[in-house]
Amino acid sequence: MFSDELKNYDWAETTARIASKTAADVERALAARRLTDDDFMALVSPAAAPYLERMATLSRRYTQERFGRVISLYIPLYLTNSCTNACVYCGFNRHNRFKRVVLTPAQIDDECRAIRRLGPFENLLIVTGENPAVAGTDYLEEALRICRPYFSNLSIEVMPLSTDDYARLTRAGLNGVTCFQETYNRDRYKIYHPAGQKSDFAWRCDGFDRMGMAGVHRIGMGVLIGLEDWRTDVTMMARHLRYLRRRYWRTRYAVNFPRMRPAAGGFHPNVVMTDRELAQLTFAFRIFDHDVDISVSTREFPRFRDNIMTLGATSLSAGSKTDPGGYHTYPQSSEQFAVGDDRTPAEVADAIRARGYEAVWKDWDKVFD
């Protein structure tokens, strides 16, 4: 399991190695055919800041070679904001006082119909708070059954599950799983996750192994930018990605780097990442892994999303509501985080086409299951 392998990497040592990178290290990384850990650290280091234009050119080239001039569109569906965790940065924190919502089967169906009216989406991401008593595997299996007639590609972003549960949901029509480790800093992890199942670092970290063993078609991973030093966190994630590729090579992988946005509870980020730094990170990951899907959510504002879509990103969310029932049932319920890009799906698709790219609503068919 990766939580054991992670013990081989010291956080402070990795931070120091990144800070020590020089222009020569960056030049070496940009010329390499296959990047090492050291090469990746050079590309996310401060020393790489003057090389953004060269990195962007490489990133665009590798993206177009692998994916073409297309951007895949998806939309999240939040089913519940009920959560047993006490994550200090999250609007769904169990200590925050607001009405908790758990959508019924009929309401899930209504939400699916409302999403279909927004645009020809086929890629749906089902999201829940982490409360196994009300949104466990049985509930998720029923949700997949309801959503399946409306969408060809179903993914979930929920609490980490067992290998058997992932396999069970895959048989029920699940195509992908997204999970954010939030931070790979094991020593400080519990500061941000003091209670609930999520406070177990190893259980969460090893969830990706369980997904791979269950044969999940697509695994999405990410860290939350704003908790710890982002350069060290993403280096640990790059190591994790390469580890997963070696062991579960039939699986498709995706990464996301959400910057913290305002949410209920008043937590303020410890680290602020600039747009230039987020672009640098995107380019570094594309140069590091030509095949990985890079997703940019509606946390980001339109200007950044419109620029990054031609330089390395391959998928965007659009028309997102981060509150359960937000499309139809409960349009004013408590959201998990504030949305930065509130354009309609049609407007996002127009922006994609304006840059000479094609908006792809469907890239998976039920016949492949």
Q: Are 126 and 157 in contact (CB under 8 A)?
A: yes
How many domains does the chain contain in total? 1
Q: What local confidence, expressed as pLDDT, does residue 337 receive?
A: 59
Closest CA to 273 of 86, 44, 63: 44
In the block, which residue shows the tokens 């466990």?
Answer: 136
In the block, which residue shows the tokens 């790059």?
Answer: 238
Task: Give the whole-angstrom CA distance, residue 129 versus residue 361.
Answer: 26
Q: Are 352 and 344 in contact (CB under 8 A)?
A: no
Alpha helices in 201-327 (DSSP H): 201-205, 207-214, 230-247, 275-288, 302-308
Q: Are 261 and 338 in contact (CB under 8 A)?
A: yes
The SS3 of residue 329 is coil
Q: What local confidence, expressed as pLDDT, does residue 278 receive?
A: 97
Q: What local confidence, expressed as pLDDT, does residue 262 receive?
A: 56
CA angle 230, 233, 238 (to 5 degrees): 120
**CA 348 vs CA 28, 34, 129: distances in Å:** 37, 34, 27
Task: Give the whole-angstrom CA distance, residue 62 versus residue 35.
Answer: 14
Element (H, E) at 64: helix 52-67
Q: What local confidence, expressed as pLDDT, does residue 135 receive?
A: 96
Question: Would you state the structure tokens that stand for residue 222, as one six-digit string?
Answer: 């990410």
CA angle 43, 49, 54 (to 5 degrees): 70
The CATH code of the domain that includes 284 is 3.20.20.70
Q: Domain range holding 263?
A: 2-368
Per-residue pLDDT of the chain (369 residues; tens, 9 = 90+): 999 999 999 999 999 999 999 999 999 999 998 999 999 999 999 999 999 999 999 999 999 999 999 999 999 999 999 999 999 888 788 887 778 899 999 999 999 999 999 999 999 999 999 999 999 999 999 999 999 999 999 999 999 999 999 999 999 999 999 999 999 999 999 999 999 999 999 999 999 999 999 999 999 999 999 999 999 999 999 999 999 999 999 999 999 999 986 555 567 888 899 999 999 999 999 999 999 999 999 989 999 999 999 999 999 999 999 889 999 987 665 555 568 899 999 999 999 999 999 999 988 776 666
Residues 6+ apart with CB under 8 A from 51: 26, 30
Closest CA to 107 of 284, 262, 330, 291: 330
